[in-house]
Every structure is written in structure tokens, then in C-alpha cells.
């Protein structure tokens, strides 16, 4: 990250105020053009170290379109009906390449495995026959009420419907690879026949199973893991990216690689360790009590020692020694040096644990705080999105609805930045203690990122709300619009650089050349800063 990057840009004016709104006299056609140019990219709110979006969010109609394209491709290349093409794809995990390779390598074997007829299928329906006997219930029914999967085994519509419905109820593994009811007959039942025979609700279930199998068997496609979300994501890895974070249209961000919540700038392994650590430290209060307190020997309630001597007085009235936990009148710690030494060792161990808990709690609280802030931001954003603000502002200010997209983009940027800040805390926790230079650089840029985000949040939470209430003139709205667009751009750029720097391990920091300020001072002058102050004071006298 270069020193001239947006991470080093000033985030306030010379007077220390926020980015100012321009006066009416300062507005020019040039500024209007700038706003239009800024809006070209404002839909890209994802905070990532990568500039190019490497995934596409798919709706149900998008998935069906891709599914139909694959079915049509197989049908055209292999000269088979769409029903047969669908069965071939189901058995080959919806891979067109696998179907073609297997088919042209050994067509006869593929037909046998999938359950396709080796020759032209026999008649499926028999409308011209007067009567036929069902091979299951043995009832004699008219020919128009008998069906066959193409193998010649005849069953009445009643038995077929029951067979198909039970298979759908059994789940996708059964109904998507359904075979003829005749024992030892491996001919598959096609989707068109299943749709004809299944009841209404089960048709929808079968269609859903078919759609889900297309996504779940595609290595480049996954469902969004957010509850009740029906979108899928198709991912295009390039082997270069440092993270696999994707953001669904429902605003949920997750990691493509591990399926957990998006956790850049952390890698999957570190994020997994952090989550497991939080689970193991969920009883942190108990750990703190065990480390920082001792039980009263009389009532067993925990007591914390703050300062002072070893005499402890419990609320129950019992007096005891902090070191040996004996009644104070019977304590001999002051005369027993061996006991003192043993207790000192225990205190050293307690101090180590206390320092560990204090360090962990510092980063955990930051992680939890930004997680809470992100949830609040998501709730506020949804309230704004569901308020019909575009139509409302369009009517108030006489503008087209697409001119207010910047509000949604700004809110999404706030949500995403809160997520990045959340996961930057465990990054600091896992920094090696010896790398002081990296820690200082990390903490500085984290504070700057918090400051930049705070300004954008104030803008969308407070300043924009006034306009959403319709209490300001259109001239001021145009100024604020320019401010929000620019502030969103600055915030996004800063966080992109912040994430990139952390993902690269803060490689621009010269650890080997770093010397803490106090150590450098002593090496150059031969005295510490405190000794230097005393010398200066003496010299002045």
C-alpha cells in the first residue's frame, strides 16, 4: 500500500469539520457531471481487496434459465429428448462435460446406468385399447387410464399416482432417479410423466427438488446460507484472490470457501480458530472469577482482592488470609517463608492467566461491539429500504427514483464496513507479540477506519433522515447528495486498502528495522526518558 493511497487521505477539512456541503454559488455543471460519473460505480458497495466482482447472485428464474440451457445443450448434442437429457444430467451431477464424455465413451453403458431404453421406447399411453389389466392392483381398466414408463409394464393411473406421490415424499434421492415399479426393471420414469401423475403440491416439490439438485451438485454454485433466502451464488475462482467473500442480494455476506460469515481480512483457518475460541471462552465470566477471586473459607462466596494487605473480610464477617485462606488469627504466612514462596508462584501463574484474559477480552469486546453495530445498521437499512423512500423523495423533490440509489449504496457500505471492522479485531489478537511495528500500524489504520466510517454513518443516520422527512429544500438535498456519494467513495476506498494491507500481512512494515521509541532513545543517549527529564531539571537549577 503506497503512502499516497486513500488510507492516508485527510478525512476532515482544515478546520477539523466534516466534508462540507458546497454553497449554491459554487455549484457548476462540472459538479453535476461529477455526480453522474460517481453514480456509475455506486452500486458496487462490496468492500474487498479485489476490484473485479468474481461472483454472480442468481434468482430462481436465473437458475431455471441456466438449467434449461444445459438440458437443451445435452438434448441437441446427443439427439435425445429433453426428458432423457434431464435424467442424464441428474445422474452426472448436472455436468454437461461429464455427460458428453461418458456418452461418447460408452453410450450403451450410460443408457443402462441411467435407465434409458436401448431402443425406441414402447407406447406410454394406450387410449385406443378398450381394457387393460394393472400389474399392481390387477384391476381391469380402460386403456386411457393405463400408463407405462416405456418398458411395456402396465399400471393404472391410480397406482401410478400413489407410486409417484410416495416417491416424492421420500425425497429427491428417490424421485429424481425414479424407476419403473416392476421389480428388476431399471427403466427410469421421466420428469414429464412425473408431472402428469403427481398431485399439485407434489409437482411443486418435485420441481423444487430438481432446482435444488442443480445448485447443490454444481461445484461453482451455492445457496446463500442466510435463513429463508432463496438466492444462489455462482462463483468464478481465478486462483489469485486472497479471500472468497461474497454478498447476496439479501445483504448477507458469507465466505464461499468455508460457508461461514464473510471474515476478510482473516483467512478461513484463523476465523475458524477464533470462532472455536469464542465458544470455549463462552464461560469467560467463570474463568475470570476463577482467576481473579478466591472463595471465602467460611461461606464459599468468591472474593476479589484489589489492593492492601493480605487480611480479607468477607460480607459474612469471616476474616481470613488471602495467601493461605486460613482464619486470620491462625495465619502464619508472615512467618513461613516456604509458604510465601509457594503462594508467590501461584500469584505469578494467576497474573499470567489474568493478562491473557485481559488481552482476549479486549479484542473480543471490539469484535462483539462491531457485530452489534452491524446488526443495528442492517435493521436501520431495511427500515429505510422498506419505507418506499425513492417514491416519497421523488414526489417531494420532483426527481426520478433512480437518482436516490446512492442512499441504498451508502447504507450497504456502512453494513459492509462494520463487518470488516468486526473481523479486524481477531486479526489484531493473532498478531505475534514481537511484531510491535505491525501492531502499531494495524491499530493506527483501524482507528482511522473507524473515524471514516463514523462520518459516513452520521451522514446517513442523521443528515439524510432530515431529507427523508421532507423538511429541507431541493438545493440542500443536491449538496448532501454530492457529499454522501463522495464520502461513500472515500470510505469504500479506505476500507479496501485496509483489507488489502491486512490480507498481505502488513508487508510494507519493516519489522527488522523497527525500534520502539524508548529503546532508540536509550541507544542514542545512553539514558532513559525519565533519567533525561531528571537531568534536564537538575541542569536548569
State the cell numbers at 140: 381391469
Q: Mind giving me the DSSP string for 97-152?
A: HHHHHHHHH-HHHHHHHHT--SSPPPPSB-TT-SEEE-TTT--EEEGGGEE--SSS
Angle (CA) 454 44 467, round 5°: 50
Query: What's the Rg (C-alpha) of the chain?
Result: 35
How long, in residues, is the chain? Answer: 541
* CB < 8 Å & 24+ apart, contacts of 500-507: 500/1, 500/49, 501/1, 501/7, 501/445, 502/265, 502/424, 502/427, 502/442, 503/49, 503/242, 503/243, 503/264, 503/265, 504/242, 506/438, 506/441, 506/442
92: enclosing H helix or E strand: none
Q: What is the largest CA-CA distance in the chain?
A: 126
How many distinct helices (H) and strands (E) make up the chain? 19, 13
- Write the CB contacts of 42 (distance below 8 Å, at least 6 apart in sequence): 405, 406, 409, 485, 488, 489
What are 269's three cell numbers?
Answer: 483457518
Identify whether 417 is a catalytic site residue: no
- Give me the catalytic one of 21, 296, 309, 331: 309
Active site residues: 309
Amino acid at each position: 500500500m503506497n503512502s499516497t493511497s486513500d488510507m492516508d487521505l485527510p478525512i476532515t477539512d482544515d478546520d477539523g469539520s466534516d466534508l462540507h456541503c458546497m454553497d449554491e454559488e459554487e455549484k457548476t455543471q462540472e459538479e453535476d457531471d461529477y455526480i453522474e460519473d460517481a453514480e456509475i460505480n455506486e452500486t458496487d458497495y462490496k468492500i474487498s481487496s479485489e476490484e473485479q466482482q468474481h461472483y454472480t447472485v442468481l434468482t430462481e428464474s436465473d437458475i431455471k434459465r441456466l438449467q434449461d440451457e444445459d438440458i437443451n445443450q445435452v438434448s441437441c448434442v446427443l439427439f435425445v429428448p429433453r426428458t432423457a437429457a434431464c435424467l442424464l444430467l441428474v445422474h452426472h451431477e448436472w455436468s454437461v462435460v461429464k455427460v458428453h464424455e461418458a456418452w461418447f465413451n460408452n453410450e450403451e453403458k450410460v443408457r443402462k446406468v441411467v435407465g434409458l431404453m436401448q431402443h425406441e421406447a414402447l407406447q406410454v399411453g394406450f387410449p385406443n385399447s378398450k381394457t387393460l389389466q394393472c400389474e399392481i392392483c390387477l384391476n381391469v381398466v380402460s386403456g386411457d387410464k393405463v400408463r407405462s414408463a416405456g418398458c411395456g409394464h402396465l399400471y393404472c393411473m391410480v397406482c401410478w399416482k400413489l407410486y409417484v406421490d410416495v416417491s416424492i415424499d421420500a425425497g429427491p434421492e428417490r424421485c429424481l432417479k425414479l424407476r419403473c415399479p416392476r421389480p428388476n426393471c431399471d427403466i427410469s420414469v421421466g420428469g414429464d410423466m412425473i408431472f402428469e401423475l403427481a398431485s399439485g403440491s407434489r409437482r411443486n416439490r418435485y420441481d423444487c427438488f430438481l432446482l435444488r439438485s442443480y445448485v447443490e451438485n454444481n461445484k461453482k454454485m451455492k445457496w446463500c446460507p442466510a435463513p429463508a433466502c432463496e438466492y444462489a451464488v455462482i462463483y468464478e475462482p481465478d486462483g489469485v484472490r486472497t479471500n472468497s467473500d461474497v454478498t447476496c442480494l439479501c445483504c448477507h455476506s458469507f465466505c464461499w470457501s468455508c460457508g461461514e460469515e464473510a471474515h476478510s481480512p482473516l483467512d478461513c483457518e484463523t476465523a475458524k480458530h477464533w470462532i472455536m475460541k469464542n465458544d470455549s471462552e463462552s464461560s469467560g465470566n467463570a474463568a475470570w472469577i476463577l482467576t481473579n477471586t478466591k472463595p471465602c473459607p467460611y461461606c464459599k462466596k468468591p472474593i476479589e482482592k484489589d489492593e492492601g494487605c493480605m487480611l480479607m473480610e468477607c460480607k459474612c464477617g469471616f476474616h481470613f488470609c488471602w495467601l493461605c485462606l486460613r482464619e486470620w488469627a491462625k495465619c502464619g504466612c508472615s512467618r513461613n517463608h516456604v509458604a510465601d514462596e509457594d503462594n508467590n508462584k501461584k500469584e505469578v501463574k494467576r497474573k499470567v492467566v489474568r493478562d491473557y484474559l485481559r488481552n482476549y477480552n479486549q479484542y473480543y469486546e471490539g469484535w462483539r461491539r462491531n457485530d452489534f453495530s452491524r446488526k443495528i445498521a442492517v435493521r436501520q437499512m431495511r427500515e429505510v429500504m422498506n419505507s418506499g423512500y425513492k417514491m416519497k423523495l421523488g414526489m417531494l423533490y420532483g426527481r426520478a427514483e433512480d437518482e436516490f440509489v446512492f442512499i441504498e449504496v451508502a447504507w450497504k457500505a456502512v453494513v459492509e464496513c462494520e463487518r470488516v471492522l468486526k473481523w479486524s479485531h481477531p486479526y489484531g489478537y493473532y498478531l505475534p507479540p514481537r511484531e510491535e511495528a505491525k501492531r502499531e500500524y494495524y491499530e493506527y489504520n483501524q482507528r482511522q477506519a473507524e473515524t471514516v466510517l463514523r462520518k459516513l454513518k452520521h451522514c446517513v443516520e442523521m443528515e439524510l433522515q432530515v431529507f427523508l422527512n421532507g423538511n429541507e429544500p431541493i438545493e440542500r438535498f443536491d449538496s448532501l447528495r454530492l457529499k454522501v456519494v463522495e464520502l461513500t467513495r472515500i470510505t469504500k476506498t479506505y476500507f479496501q486498502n485496509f483489507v488489502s494491507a491486512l490480507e498481505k500481512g502488513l508487508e510494507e512494515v519493516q519489522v527488522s528495522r523497527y525500534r520502539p521509541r524508548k529503546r532508540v532513545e536509550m541507544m542514542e543517549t545512553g539514558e532513559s526518558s525519565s533519567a533525561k527529564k531528571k537531568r534536564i531539571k537538575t541542569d536548569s537549577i
